[in-house]
Structure 1
Amino acid sequence: MTLAGIPLDFILFALTLLGVALFHNHTLFVAVTGMIVIALYKILFGDFSGVTGVHGLGTLLAHEWVTLGNLLGLLLGFALLADHFERSHVTDMLPNYLPDDWKGGFLLLVLIAVISSFLDNIAAAMIGGAMAHVLYRGKVHVGFLAAIVAASNAGGAGSVVGDTTTTMMWIAGVRPGQVFEAYVGAGVALLFFGTIAARQQQAYQPIMKDNPRGVKLDLPRLGVVALMLLAAIFTNITLNIHRPDLLNEWPLIGLSVWVALLVTAGWRTPTWSLLPGAFRGSVFLLSLVMCAAMMPVKALPGASWPSALGLGFVSAVFDNIPLTALALRQGGYDWGFVAYAVGFGGSMIWFGSSAGVALCNMYHEGRSVGAWLKGGWHVAVGYVLGFIALMLVLGWEPEADVGTPHAAPITTHSEPAQTNKP
C-alpha cells in the first residue's frame, strides 16, 4: 500500500519519528506504539522480506534478536558501569589535570573520543557523562551533551572495535586500515564541534577548578569498571578473530558485560535502582531499531560520495546497522567514508545512536530534538566539514567488492534471513 507513491511502511515510521520529536516527554510510548502499529500493518497487509503474517514477524525477530540482545545488555550494563565509575571518585580527581577554562572541556571530549577508539561508544558516552556531571556540578549544556555523543561516535568511527558498524565492515573483509581513514574526518569534526561545545559549556557552567579535599579513590569499584570493560573488549576482539559465527548467533558481548558485573557484585554492589530508568530508555531504542528493521529497504542509491554523505544524515533517524549491511552488500564504496558517515552521523539527533539514547537516560533534558539541534548545531556542521576534509585529503577511492575472510556473507532484513547479520 502506498500514499502518493510512498510505501505506507515509511509513512508510519516517519510519523513515529515525528512523534518522538514533538512529544519528547512521551518518547517511550510513541516509539512502542509506532512499532506495534507498523508490525500489525505488515502482518495484515504486507510482508517481512517476502514472508507474510506472524511467521514473517517471527522470522525477522530471529534475524534481529542478537543485535537487540547486545544493545539491551550493553545499555543496562553500562548504566551501572557509569555509576561505578562516578562513585569510584576518579572524576573528582580530574580538576587537578584539566585546564580551568574551556580547554578543559575540550580535552574531556578528546579523552572520550580516545576511550571510544577501543571501547564501545556506549561506554565512552556514559563515562563521559559521568565525568561531565562532576566537573560541571550537574549543570551540563545540551550542546555539550551532543558533543559528548559526537566525540564517542567519532572515536569509534575509525576503529574496527570501536563501533558495531566498523566491526561489521571488518568481518566482511574491509581492512582495518581502510576504516582507520575515517579519523581524518572525525578529527576535523572533533576540532570544530569540540571547540564550540566547550565554550558553550564554559559560559553555561564553568568547569570545577579544584577537586574536593580529602578525595580517596575507591579502588575495588574502579577494578569493577576495568573488569567490565576488559570483558567486553576481550569478547569482541577474540570472537571476531576466531569465532565470528558465535557473535552472529548469540549476544555474547552484552552477556560478557553482565557476567563481569555479577561476578564482581561482591566487591561493590551495583546501584540496582538505576535499572528501571535504563530499561525504559533501552526499550525506546530497541523499538526504533525494530521499526527500522521492518522497513522495506532493499538497496541504497548508487555508490558515490554524495550517497555516502547522505548515509550520515539518514543514520541520524534510521538504524545505521542495516544501512551498513546494505552498503557492504552493494559494494563500490570507499569504506573509510562509509565508516565515518554511519559512525558519526547518528550524533546529529539524540536518538540517532545508541550512545545518545544511553546518555539521555542520564540527562533527560537532552530528549528534545529541538533543543539538541539548537544547542548541538555544531555537530551537523562538523560532520560536513569532516566529510569535506576526507575528500580533500584522501579523495573518493571506491572498492568494487570486499572479501569475507572472517565470516559468511552479510544479509540484511531486506532479504530472507538465511544467515545472521553481524
Structure 2
Amino acid sequence: MNTNSIRRQIGFWLLPLLCLTMPTISFAAQSGQMLTLGGIRLEFILFAFTLLGVALFHHYTMFVSLAGLAAVVASKYVFLDDFSFVHHIMGGDGHEGEWRIMLNLFGLLSGFAILAKHFDESHLPKVLPKYLPDDWKGGFVLLVMIFVTSGFLDNIAAAMIGGAIAFVVFKQRVHIGYLAAIVAASNAGGSGSVVGDTTTTLMWIDGVSQLNVLHAYIAAAVSLVIFGVIASKQQDKYQRIVKDGPKSVQVEWKKIYVVGLILLLAVATNYLLDFPALGVWVAILLGALVVKTPWREINHALPGTVFLLGLVSCASLMPVDELPPASWVTTFWLGFISAVFDNIPLTKLCLEQGGYDWGILAYAVGFGGSMLWFGSSAGVALSSMYPQARSAVNWVRQGWHVPVAYVVGFFVMLAAAGWSPQESYKTEVNSVKEPQISVAATMEN
C-alpha cells in the first residue's frame, strides 16, 4: 500500500469518526474536562497512536514523536483550562518540572555519541578481537562486558560502547537479535545499581538504599545467560567474529584517556549532582584540548535524541493518577508496559505509591524496556548507530529471546529472594505526617 492510499484510508475513517465524536468534544471543551472515548482519556489514545506510528513508520520516528507530542499538548490546551506546558517543563508551585530529565537525556545522548566515536577512532576495538574467544563465545563475552560496564556507568554509554565494538568485530554486519541483546545486557547490568540506570537513580534520590535494589542482579544474571547465549549463536550464524585484528594497528591512547575521563566525570557528577550530562560535557571540552573531537557526531545523533525527548515528554503528560495495588503481579506486568510506556514516569508513580519490592521493580522497569527498540534510552541511542534496528516487528521477531529471558529471570528472582515490599523514605515521611493532620482536623471539627 503506497503513501497516497494510506492517506485516503486515514481520511475515509477520520471524517465519520470526528462527526460522531463532535458532540462529546463540544461538551468536554465547555466543561473544562478532558475528552474520553469509551472511558479512555484522549491523551492515552493519542499516545497509543504515537507508539503505533513509531512501530509502523520507523523511518520517520522523529516526526511521529513530535507530531504525537504536539497532539497531546494541543488536547490539553483545548480541554483543560489550567494546563501550561511551560509550567510542566520548568516546574513551579511545588512541581519539580521535567527540564532536568530532558536536559540530562539530551546531554547524555549527544555526548555519548562523541564518546563512542572517540572509542572507535582510538582503534582499540580493532585489537580487541584478539582477546575474545572464537565462535559464538566471543559474542557472549562481549555481552558480559557490556553487562558489567553498565553496573557502574549509565546504560546508554554501555550500549554505545558495546555497539561500537560489535561494529568492528563483526565487520559491520550485526544481527538485530544481537542488537536487542546489547540493549538488554546494558539494561540488565544497570538494574541492580543506583548509578546504572535512570530508574534506579530516581529510587536512590527518593531514599531507596543500594542494598534494596541489589537483588535485581539475581534475575539480571539469569536473563543474561538466556538471551546472551541465544543472541550470540544468532550472530555467529549471521557473521562470525573476526579473531585477529590488523597487525599494523596502533592504539591512540589519548582518545582512550578522554573516554576514561568522560566515564569518570559522568559517574562523579551522577553521584554528586545527579547530573551526569554535565560531567560528560566537561570531559568532552577538556578532551578537545588534546585530541580532535568528532563534533559532527552530534548531528548524526540529533534525530534519535529529538525522537526520545519527544516520546519522553509525551509520556510525562499522561495523567497516570494511580496504579493497581503494589504486588509482584503488578510489577511483572509493569515490565511489559515499560517497553512501550516510558519507565521514568512509571518509576516516579511507584515511588509515590510505595509498597513495592524495589529490586524486583528495578529489574522489571529497567530490563522490560529492552523488549522494543524504543522502550529504553539505550535502545534509542544504539539505533542511531544501527538504523536497521528501528523496526518494532523485526526487533520482536528476531529478539524474541529478550521477553523469554525477562519472564524466566523474574520468576527465578521471585523464588530466590521472595517479595519484600518496602516504603521509600519519602513515603514513610508522608505516612508519619498524615495521622497528625487527621488529628488536627478532628480537633478543629
Q: Secondary structure at the match of 2:112?
A: helix
1:414 matched residue in structure 2? none
Q: CA 1:23–1:143 in structure 2 vs 1: closer, same or farther (change >3 Å)? A: same
2:279 alignment partner in structure 1 = 256
The residue aligned with 1:274 is 297
Deviation digits for residues 139-173 of structure 1, max 9, x if unmatched?
00000000000000000000011111111111212
Q: Deviations over 1:218-252 (max 9, x none)?
A: 0111111011111101111233xxxxxxx4xxxx3
Aligned to 2:257: 223
Q: Report the Cα distance in structure 2 between the residues aligned to 1:303 and 1:16, rounded to whole angstroms.
A: 28
- Higher-Rg member (1/2): 2
CA contact (8 A) 2:55 2:393 kept: yes
- The whole-number CA distance in structure 1 between the counterparts of 2:382 and 2:317 is 26
Distance in 2, Cα, partners of 1:395 & 1:223: 43
Segments ≥4 residues shifted beyond 4 Å: none
Kindly state the Cα deviation for residue 209 of structure 1 after the two structures are TM-superposed. Answer: 1.4
SS at match of 1:358: helix
Q: Which amino acid aligns with 2:176?
A: V
- The C-alpha deviation readout for 1:24-58, integer Å capped at 9, x for no partner, is 111111111111111011111136xxx32xxx211
Q: Name the CA distance, whole Å, in 1 between partners of 2:163 and 2:383.
A: 9
Greater RCO between the two (CA within 8 Å, min separation 6)? 1
Of 156, 172, 184, which aligns to 1:122?
A: 156
Report if the CA contact (8 A) 1:350-1:369 is conserved.
Answer: yes
Shift of 1:216: 1.2
Change over 3 Å in CA distance of 1:226–1:41 after alignment to 2:
same
Alignment correspondent of 2:94: none
* Counterpart AA for 2:267: I
Structural mapping, 1:295-334, within 5 Å: 295-334=318-357
Matched, 1:59 2:87: yes
1:192 is matched with 226
Contact 2:115 2:259 in 1 (8 A): yes
Please give the secondary structure, in 1, of the residue aligned with 2:146.
Answer: helix
Equivalent AA in structure 1 for residue 85 of structure 2 = L
Are 1:69 and 2:92 counterparts?
no
Q: Which of residues 412, 425, 432 is equivalent to 1:389?
A: 412
Match of 1:418 in 2: none
- The 1:408–1:29 alpha-carbon spacing in structure 2 relative to 1, beyond 3 Å, is farther
Q: Does residue 1:136 correspond to 2:170, yes or no?
A: yes
Q: How many residues align?
A: 390
Aligned to 2:195: 161
Normalising by structure 1, what TM-score? 0.90
2:385 maps to 1:357: no
What amino acid does structure 1 have at the position aligned with 2:425? G
**What residue is the counterpart of 1:336 in the other structure?**
359
Whether the 8 Å contact between 1:119 and 1:161 is mirrored in structure 2 is: yes
Partner secondary structure for residue 59 of structure 2: helix
CA distance, structure 2, for counterparts of residue 404 and residue 170 of structure 1: 11
Query: Hey, what's the Cα distance between the residues in 2 that align with 1:41 and 1:302?
Result: 30
- Aligned equivalents of 1:175 and 1:253: distance in 2? 20
- Number of the residue aligned with 2:424: 402
Aligned to 2:31: none
Q: What percent of counterpart residues are identical?
A: 56
CA distance in 2, matches of 1:166, 1:217: 35
Whole-Å separation in 1 of the counterparts to 2:299 and 2:313? 21
Deviation at 1:96, TM superposition (A): 1.2
1:172/1:366 CA distance change after superposition, 3 Å: same
Match of 1:376 among 399, 402, 410: 399
Counterpart residue identity of residue 272, structure 1: W
Asked if the contact 2:269–2:278 (Cα under 8 Å) also holds between the matched residues in 1, the reply is no
Distance (Å, rounded) in 2 between the aligned partners of 1:331 and 1:205: 47
TM-score, normalising length from structure 2? 0.86
Judge which range, 38-47 or 380-389, deviates more.
38-47
Q: Say whether the 8 Å CA contact 2:123–2:249 is kept in structure 1.
A: yes
Please, what is the CA RMSD of the aligned residues? 1.5
In the TM superposition, residue 367 of structure 1 has moved relative to its aligned partner by 0.2
CA distance in 2: counterparts of 1:154 and 1:404, whole angstroms = 26
Asked whether 1:290 is paired with 2:313, we answer yes
Task: Give the unaligned 5+ runs of structure 2.
Answer: 1-34, 91-96, 432-445
Choose from 212, 222, 232 the match for 2:266: 232
